[in-house]
Amino acid sequence: MTQTVLLPNPILREPARRVPTRVGRRYFIRTFGCQMNEHDSERIAGLFEMDGMTPAGGFESADVVYINTCTIRENADNRMYGNLGQLKAVKDLNPAMMLVVGGCAAQKDRDMVRERAPWVDVVMGTHNLDRVLDLMDHAENWGPITEVVDELQAMPSSLPVKRELEHSAWVTIQVGCNNTCTFCIVPSVRGVEVSRRPGDIVREVERLAADGVVEVTLLGQNVDTYGRDLALNGKRRPIFAELLRRVGEVDGIRRVRFTSPHPNDFREDVAHAMADTDEVCEHLHFPLQSGSDRILRAMHRGYNRKKYTERLAMAREIIPGLAVSTDIIVGFPGETDGDFAITLEMVEEARFDSAFMFIFSPRPGTSAANLTEQFVPEETIKERFARLSEMQNRISGERNAEMVGRKVEVLSEGPSRKDTQVATTRTRTGKVVHVAGTHRAGSFLTVEVGTAHPHHLVGSPV
């Protein structure tokens, strides 16, 4: 456990508060990064509201600002420090405003955050979310504080929550990761895998259903290895397939999603659980990262092209109507034109419904960041990225065009951000469908798909 700039203070040793002390104050949360960060931000919001605070419309009107940081790519770090620079001007005008920085970049950089942004009041990591109110107390009474610990203090799901969507909820089933992917900083900032007890997860889903939630997304860094660290009755371990079935049995839950699985650990029992459990959606996020066996070995991914292709084919054979999304990194150190050509071949062959495509970003603390002599020239990476994007956009458009004329069930997420007279909805396979009219968030409807685009569909209610 590491703790820095922690001044002696009895308030830090007291149990979590029960009586609200910041009634009337307003908070604003800015979240960068993945679904895990979004889930953590909802827990921070829950703690803030438990303490009597209400949401603010933006930085300028907030008494407390929480920045939940990401460190997966370099531009995430840059955006974080850019936001902190903007907030200095706001804080100069309102010195009483409290600025809290948490998340993965804070976990990784620790004292560096305060060195680069000394106007920050609280710096905290990913493992001590439950301490945010106590740390704010310290900052108000004794001055700025940095507290970053290396071991999980409390499961985020044990904390109060203020969800962004009333009908949909994140449910953490596992934190941390035991993999050693050479490009990934997550094990360093999130720690080793720790699984929640299945009974605790099911009870949380039951409470969510009773509260009107109809869709849950199970969160883990590698959900396929869920439960390997648990022993029930001293002899058996829960597995992810069993958990999917149990969550699907909860009355009131109509859609179950999960992210993210790992191709090296994906098994037939999970595919069968997806196919057999009506509530589990026909969508699989299956990160490829590269089509080249040589690059996959350098990444420590644990699978090769053949193994990936076989498991993808298995999933599609078992699960009718499966939609597949993926992650791909362009320009990993040492990637040659031949390696990239194999990736293009793989993408053409796999015909993913969508893909998150990233330019390699060296992250300090990862072994890939040390391969400086093998870094691919920037102009080469940009050219490859453009070719990959063009190919995937074409494939996504073709996959979506196959849905034109079909009638599908969608779940409304509320008015579109661009047009309040159009609802943004989503199919079971995760595809966005824009539907004319006002359709309450959380309501289900059947639509007929009229037109298709690479990144969304347009439909009409049936």
Q: Are 22 and 124 in the same domain?
A: yes
Asked if 132 and 17 sit in the same domain, the reply is yes
Structural domain of residue 424, as residue ranges? 407-461
Residues 411 and 398 both lie in one domain: no
Task: Name the residue among 279, 307, 255, 300 with its Cα closest to residue 413.
Answer: 255
Do 37 and 128 lie in a common domain?
Answer: yes
Query: Is residue 133 located within the same domain as residue 115?
Result: yes
CATH number for the domain that contains residue 105: 3.40.50.12160
Pair 31, 58 in one domain = yes
Tell me if 5 is assigned to some domain.
no
365: left (phi over 0), alpha (psi -120 to 50) or beta: left
pLDDT score recorded for residue 319? 98
If one counts the domains in the chain, the total is 4
Helix residue spans in 293-359 (DSSP H): 293-299, 305-318, 337-350
On whether both 397 and 412 belong to a single domain, the answer is no
**Does a structural domain hold residue 159?**
no
Domain for residue 323, yes or no? yes
Taking the CA of residue 122 as centre, how many other CA atoms within 13 Å lie in the half-sphere pointing to its CB? 27
Q: Identify the domain boundary among 114, 147, 180.
A: 147
Query: Given phi > 0 = left and psi -120 to 50 = alpha, else beta, which region is 125?
Result: beta
Per DSSP, the three-state class of 260 is coil
Instruction: Let me know if residue 293 belongs to a domain.
Output: no
User: Which one of 402, 419, 452 terminates a domain?
Assistant: 402
Is 216 found in the same domain as 115?
A: no
In this structure, is residue 294 part of a structural domain?
Answer: no
Tens of pLDDT along the chain (462 residues)? Answer: 333 433 333 333 333 555 788 999 999 999 988 888 898 999 999 999 999 999 999 989 999 999 998 887 666 677 788 888 889 999 999 999 999 999 888 888 888 888 999 999 999 988 889 999 999 999 999 999 999 888 877 777 778 888 888 999 999 999 889 999 999 888 888 888 999 999 999 999 999 999 999 999 999 989 999 998 886 655 556 689 999 999 999 999 999 999 989 999 999 999 999 999 999 999 999 999 999 999 999 999 999 999 999 999 999 999 999 999 999 999 999 999 999 999 999 999 999 999 999 999 888 888 999 999 999 999 999 999 999 999 999 999 999 999 999 999 999 999 998 899 999 999 999 999 999 999 999 999 999 999 999 999 999 999
444: domain CATH number? 2.40.50.140
Q: Using an 8 Å Cβ cutoff, are 169 and 217 in contact?
A: yes
Task: Please compute, for residue 103, the number of CA atoms within 13 A of its CA located in the half-sphere on the CB side.
Answer: 29
Are both 35 and 125 inside the same structural domain? yes
User: Based on the domain organization, do 325 and 378 belong to the same domain?
Assistant: yes
Kindly state whether residue 457 falls inside one of the protein's structural domains: yes
* pTM, rounded to two decimals: 0.85
Same domain for 109 and 232, yes or no, is: no
CATH code, domain carrying 187: 3.30.750.210
**Cα atoms found within 13 Å of the Cα of residue 120, Cβ hemisphere only:** 27
Specify if 299 maps to a domain. Answer: no
269 and 389 both lie in a single domain: no
Q: What one-character DSSP code corresponds to residue 441?
A: T
Tell me, yes or no, whether 392 lies in a domain.
yes
